[in-house]
């Protein structure tokens, strides 16, 4: 069995050769085995060359895609992928009675789900610890960004308003879960069509299905899109020694534990900065670098969202 001191650092040729090996005692440890034995050293050798094991530059995010209308039964839905990390977001609209404190506002309820299929770390019957954390972070971000004017969800003052239930399902968890979840949420709200509702003689408001006759006393005459402003996008960065890695994979997150998530809106304003812990200190310069990387990433994600919406409108 090889200990840490029995292995040379040289991996340039793809193998680690133990010293003093000769004849029948000679052996080679393939790169995969070295990576398994000494994962941090494996990554640090790549970082010293300003490249990551998957071939990305340190500040480069993974390829990202969006698809709208992924769930036919939802009022709005989207499938978002950042690398292998995959999120399915679906919105269901229901009529509710608004609170007395906010008679002219609707509500948004967000829940993030991590079923066992998304990761070998999630066990059946045991809710993932990170799920409620991401749910709270998503709710705080969407509300504080001002992306949605809750008064737009009002139907009849003090009597009826929309409750938007947003459920996000993680189908594949390969790092940067919040970034992909937020992207799917933003895309689902971009795709959302608010249903037609009518009021009966008793003043009760209900959703009008497509099969029902037209001509009822409609509160809103046709389906409409929700107006979105200051759309938030995020980038999670991993801090390790002097290095900053954008959009880490699950493997990178497990080896180097200090994460910083920056949320900027489409007007380039800082919405939030989230650092859930870790051993490294996020100094001012590191935070500024993370914000600069996020600023670049927001432009990429905004372009992907705009192109996806345009393509759907053409189709």
Q: Write the DSSP symbol of residue 93.
A: E
Answer whether residue 298 is part of any domain.
yes
Does the model's pTM come out above 0.95? no
Answer whether residue 48 is part of any domain.
no
Q: Write the DSSP symbol of residue 165.
A: E
Average pLDDT, the chain: 84
Check whether 230 has a pLDDT greater than 80: yes
Instruction: Report the CATH number at residue 83.
Output: 3.30.230.70
Question: 111-129: string of b/e by CB count within 10 Å (b at 16+)?
Answer: ebbbeeebbeebeeeeebe
Answer whether residue 165 is part of any domain.
yes
Check whether 313 has a pLDDT greater than 80: no
Rounded mean pLDDT, 191-218: 70
Rounded mean pLDDT, 235-251: 94
Rounded mean pLDDT, 163-188: 97
Rounded mean pLDDT, 254-264: 90
For position 212, what pLDDT does the model report?
54
Q: How many CA atoms are closer than 13 Å to the CA of 97, on its beta-carbon side?
A: 4
Answer whether residue 292 is part of any domain.
yes
Q: Is 79 helix (H, G, I), strand (E, B) or coil?
A: strand
Total structural domains within the chain: 1
Check whether 219 has a pLDDT greater than 90: no
Q: Which residues are bridge partners to 171 per DSSP?
A: none
Answer whether residue 21 is part of any domain.
no
For position 4, what pLDDT does the model report?
41
Among 45, 57, 46, 58, which residue's Cα sits nearest to residue 237?
58
Residues 193 and 225 sit within 8 Å (Cβ to Cβ): yes
Q: pLDDT tens across 18-33, in order?
A: 444 443 333 445 767 7
Task: Determine how many CB atoms are found less than 10 A away from the CB of residue 273.
Answer: 15
Q: Which residues are bridge partners to 315 per DSSP?
A: none
Answer whether residue 255 is part of any domain.
yes
Tell me which residue range forms the domain holding 292.
64-313
Q: How far apart are CA 183 and CA 78, in angstroms?
A: 9
Residue by residue, DSSP assigns 253-276 as HHHS-EEEEEEEETTS-EEEEE--
Q: Is 298 helix (H, G, I), strand (E, B) or coil?
A: helix
Answer whether residue 195 is part of any domain.
yes
Answer whether residue 306 is part of any domain.
yes
Q: Is 202 helix (H, G, I), strand (E, B) or coil?
A: coil
Rounded mean pLDDT, 51-74: 95
């Amino acid at each position: 069995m090889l200990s840490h001191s029995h292995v040379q650092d040289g991996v340039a040729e793809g193998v680690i050769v133990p010293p003093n090996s000769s004849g029948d005692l000679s052996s080679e440890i393939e790169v995969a085995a070295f990576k398994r034995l000494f994962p941090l050293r494996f990554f640090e050798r790549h970082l010293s060359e300003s490249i990551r094991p998957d071939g990305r530059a340190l500040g480069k995010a993974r390829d990202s895609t969006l698809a709208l209308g992924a769930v036919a039964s939802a009022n709005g839905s989207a499938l978002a992928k950042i690398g292998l990390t995959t999120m399915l977001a679906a919105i269901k609209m229901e009529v509710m009675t608004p609170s007395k404190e906010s008679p002219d506002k609707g509500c948004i309820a967000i829940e993030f789900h991590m079923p066992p299929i998304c990761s070998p770390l999630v066990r059946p019957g045991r809710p993932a610890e990170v799920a409620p954390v991401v749910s709270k972070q998503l709710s705080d971000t969407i509300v504080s960004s001002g992306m949605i004017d809750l008064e737009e969800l009002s139907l009849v003052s003090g009597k009826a308003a929309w409750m938007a239930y947003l459920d996000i399902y993680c189908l594949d968890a390969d790092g940067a879960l919040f970034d992909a979840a937020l992207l799917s949420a933003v895309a689902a709200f971009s795709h959302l069509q608010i249903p037609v509702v009518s009021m009966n003689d008793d003043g009760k408001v209900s959703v009008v299905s497509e099969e029902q006759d037209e001509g009822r006393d409609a509160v809103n005459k046709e389906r409409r899109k929700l107006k979105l402003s200051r759309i938030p996008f995020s980038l999670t960065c991993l801090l390790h020694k002097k290095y900053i890695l954008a959009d880490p994979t699950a493997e990178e997150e497990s080896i180097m534990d200090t994460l910083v998530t920056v949320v900027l809106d489409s007007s380039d304003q800082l919405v939030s900065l989230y650092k859930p812990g870790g051993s490294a200190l996020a100094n001012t310069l590191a935070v500024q670098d993370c914000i600069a990387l996020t600023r670049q990433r927001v432009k990429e994600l905004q372009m992907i969202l705009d192109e996806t919406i345009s393509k759907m409108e053409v189709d």
